[in-house]
Chains A and B, each alone.
Chain A
Amino acid sequence: MKKLLSVLLALAMVLSMTAGAFAASLEGTYQLTIWVAEEIKDLTAQQIEAFNSSNEYGITIAANIEAVSEADAATSMITDVEAGADIFCFAQDQFARLVQAGALSSLGKQAAEIVRTSNDAGVVAAATSGDTLYAYPLTSDNGYFLYYDKSVIPEDHVDSMEAIIADCEAAQKYFAFEMGTSAWYNAAFFFATGCVSEWVTDDDGSFISVHDTFNSPEGLIAVKGMKKLVDSPFHLSSSDGASFASNAAAVVTGIWAYTTIESILGDNMGVTDLPSFEVDGVSYHLGSYNGCKLMGVKPQTDPVKGAAIHRLAQYLTGEACQMERFDARAWGPSNLAAQGSPAVQANPGLVALYTQNAYSVPQGQIHGSWWDIAKVIADDVKNATDEAGLQQALDNYYEKISSLFTMSDDEKTSWGVIGTCNSVDGFFYTDYNNESRSNWAEDIPMTADGSVWTTEPWLMEAGCEFKVRQGKSWDNAFPADNFKVEETGTYRVRFDADTCEVSLIPAE
């Protein structure tokens, strides 16, 4: 009898436990640490109160809110994920590092769907690695535009960089545009001429490859424009809004400087999109990065707690909370409905930012080393004395970018074909029919049979050129002069690694 009773009791216990698990009730009180910027600390506390009283799951959050700037959060999280906050805000350039460090938990299917449909495409891309969404968009205002002093620069001059420089020089005042210390700002020139720098990450946040065209004829135009700016004695490499208080007449910076600049310039403050610069008679409108801030949730050992925290993060990044942040601190919303609201549309700073967005590039995932590699361009450009010097700046850049990807031994020893033969109109290689791929930028793979390497066949036009090279580097490349295709036709490229002989085999 006793035995039976104990069995029954045990059964009842097990049943009650599984029942609880299936219902997956989120009801309960959760202790968490939240890191937000100082200026929204109090607001966030109020928003969590509102969440506690209004959410339908019965979640009560007891939050310990700490002020941690978005610039520092990622570094701290990576130092010690365990001791880090459960919810933290960060600038999007930290995203890849955080995914790699396992400091972000991915969004559930439903939440991801809501985030994708209700936010602008740029921020969704910024929070995505591979196909997985890892963070909630908080703002979409991390871009830059032009603030100027109306008493120095007339309104009809603000469309031309040259005119602004001339006005500044005439008034002996500075044009502040951060160059040698920040790739984020100096990339504006490259985007103006249509250069791209796109990085590809996989689901784990690792960088696989880059498509970068800064080292190109367009890139050369860009650095010529940059040269005009950095050569001016009244160029100041700074993005500090307070520069207006120390003799600047124009500053390129973001929405965060709005209140500071307004307090300095008062009615003389002008805001607009970036100007254009002119090279060889052609005008190029300066581009920009448009980025965002994201809110991340740390992976939790307790799945129920994890789900509850995700509910909170979803709430904090929803339309209502974004509007509250806009009202209190003028943070530009990423939520599409909030972006379209009349209040947001009436903010001159955000209007300038949105105007500039037409010329901007969404800041996707960017390799952490890129910032340091690219910012040097501006100093190299300043030191250059002629066009060869400018080209050298780009060459240096390209070499450093190329060395970022350490290859496996297989990749290092295998051969590939590179040249003009893979991008000419109407010509295609099975995987290489994408016309936007630049000349001399991508290697067509070859397969080995003993020491003989061959490609798949594709159509080549008479006159196009190529080389066969090893390990995507120029250390071993043949023939010494480019191989020229004499007759249009469909060929395989054949390379004999023993004799280093390159030949074309007409496809059967």
Chain B
Amino acid sequence: MIQSQKSETPSMKRHMGMKASSRISNTASYVVLVLISVIWLIPFVCILLQSFRCESTHQVGYIIPQKWGLDNYRNLFNTNFPRWYTNTLITALFAAVFQTIIVLCMSYTLSRFRFKMRKPLMQFMLILGMFPGMLSMIILYQVLKDLGMTQANSVPGLILVYIASSGMGYYVSKGFFDTISKSLDEAARIDGATRFQVLMKIILPLSKPIVIYTVLTAFMGPWGDFVFARYISFNVSAGMNAAVGLYGWLSQDQISKNYTMFCAGGVLVAVPVTILFMCLQRYYVEGVTGGAVKG
């Protein structure tokens, strides 16, 4: 091919050849991408379609509903689902706010301050972070139970658990703060700004992506949590989050009655996260990669 181009094709023709070949490779990659996205989207589409199925409530062997409608969504409001949803929302919002504050303060401190135990502290947290959190579940359950924060009161208990160790997740944002020039701080300090003002007025406006990334991850954890939430709520419906409550509908005696409603619940759980991601996607990517490069 190269040889033939060299020997007889004028430059104009070669240009068209390149165009054609790039078109072929584009088509091929689009076909592959479409295929992959179809495979990737099938479960979501299935759940979405099943949630609109009205002719029956059990699992069926087809995907497209025969009778469409919003019955499943309407029925959700006659169950405990609104309560579960509220629980999840409250937990996730509180966790997001507190965790963000703690993480940002922690990162700022470790990035800008120099104190005696700084390095040992960072190493200690690194090692502590390797300890699988699930192992502490049983002891945490006992502690929360003694504090009266399980069963129906599980929401404050869960918030406490989610934000408790959040200070250790400082890596990404500290990395990002390190990229912001220190001379900015110094300039502000000379002009009379306090450390806090430096954080609020200089650092944070410059690190929007990382703040948004922190908020998002802090929100997502509690939003989709199942294991811990199930353990803490201990079969009390009023203390469940959406994932735990919905799971109850999959038990043998309920699945044929509640399967489509389960799908509707799943869709509603996915909605806020999807919207959040769509709006903040740009920052999210910047945030993930931003902290990785040290300037």
Same complex for A and B? Answer yes
B256 and A69: CB pair below 8 A? no
Given A38-B248, A70-B253: A76 touches B59 (CB 8 Å cut-off): no
Residues of A whose CB lies within 8 Å of any CB of B are 35, 37-39, 66-73, 76, 79-80, 83, 85, 240-242, 245-247, 256-257, 259-260, 263-264
Complex CA–CA separation, A246 to B63 (angstroms): 11
A-contacting residues, B243-274, CB 8 Å: 248, 251-254, 256-257
Nearest-neighbor residue (CB-CB) of A88 within chain B: B235
Closest to B251 in A: A69
Q: Does B145 contact A (CB under 8 A)?
A: yes
Please tell me which one of the listed residues A39, A83, A247, A263 contacts residue B253 in the complex, with CB atoms under 8 A apart.
Answer: A39
Cβ contact within 8 Å between A71 and B252: yes
Q: Say which residue of B58, B151, B248, B256 sits within 8 Å of A67 (CB atoms).
A: B248
The residues of A that contact B165 with a CB separation of less than 8 Å are none
Chain B residues whose C-beta falls within 8 Å of the C-beta of A83 in the assembled complex: 145, 150-151, 234
Instruction: Output the least CB separation between A236 and chain B (Å).
Output: 12
A218 → B minimal CB distance (Å): 31
A72 touches B251 (CB 8 A): yes
Q: Which residues between 68 and 116 of chain B lie within 8 Å of chain A, taking CB atoms?
A: none
B237 close to A260 (CB less than 8 A): no
Query: Please, which residues of chain B bring their CB within 8 A of the CB of A85?
Result: 235
Do residues A257 and B59 form an inter-chain contact, with CB atoms below 8 A?
no
B56 and A69 contacting across the interface, CB-CB below 8 Å: no
Minimum C-beta distance from B137 to chain A (A): 11
Known: A83-B150, A245-B60. A66 touches B253 (CB 8 A): no
List residues of chain B with CB within 8 A of the CB of A241.
58, 256
Q: List 30 A-B contacts (CB under 8 A).
A: A37-B254, A38-B248, A38-B254, A39-B257, A66-B236, A68-B248, A69-B248, A69-B253, A69-B254, A71-B251, A72-B235, A72-B251, A76-B234, A79-B231, A80-B141, A80-B234, A83-B145, A83-B234, A242-B58, A242-B60, A245-B58, A245-B60, A246-B59, A246-B61, A256-B252, A260-B58, A260-B256, A263-B56, A263-B58, A264-B58
Chain A nearest Cβ from B48, distance in angstroms: 19
- Chain A residue numbers with a CB within 8 Å of B235 are 35, 66, 68, 72-73, 76, 85
**9 further A-B pairs in the complex, CB-CB below 8 A; given A35-B235, A38-B253, A242-B59:** A37-B254, A39-B253, A39-B257, A66-B237, A70-B253, A72-B235, A73-B235, A79-B231, A260-B256
Q: A83-B150, A247-B61 are in contact. Are A69 and B236 (CB under 8 A)?
A: no
In the bound complex, CA of A70 to CA of B235 (Å): 12
> Which range contains the number of B residues in contact with the other chain?
20 to 34
The smallest beta-carbon distance between A268 and chain B, in angstroms, is 16
Contact with A along B138-163 (1 / 0, CB 8 A): 00010001000011000000000000
- The CA-CA distance from A38 to B255 in the complex, in Å, is 11
Q: Nearest chain-B residue to A69 (Cβ)? A: B251
Residue of B nearest to A263 (CB): B56
B265 to chain A, nearest CB (A): 15
A69 CA to B255 CA, complexed, in Å: 11
Bound-state CA distance A242–B53 (Å) is 15
B271 to chain A, nearest CB (A): 25
> Which of the residues A37, A66, A79, A242 comes within 8 Å of B256, measured between beta carbons?
A242
Interface positions of B from 26 to 53, Cβ below 8 Å from A = none
Q: Which 8 A-B pairs have the closest CB atoms?
A: A246-B61, A69-B251, A260-B256, A245-B60, A242-B58, A242-B59, A68-B235, A260-B58
A residues near B253, Cβ cutoff 8 Å: 37-39, 69-70, 256
Min Cβ gap B76→A in Å is: 15
A114 to B82, CA, bound (A): 44
Minimum distance in angstroms from A33 CB to a CB of chain B:
8
Contacts of B234 in A (CB 8 A): 76, 79-80, 83
B255 to chain A, nearest CB (A): 8
B180 to chain A, nearest CB (A): 48
Partner of A39, one of B60, B248, B254: B254
8 Å CB contact of A245 from B61, B150, B151, B252: B61
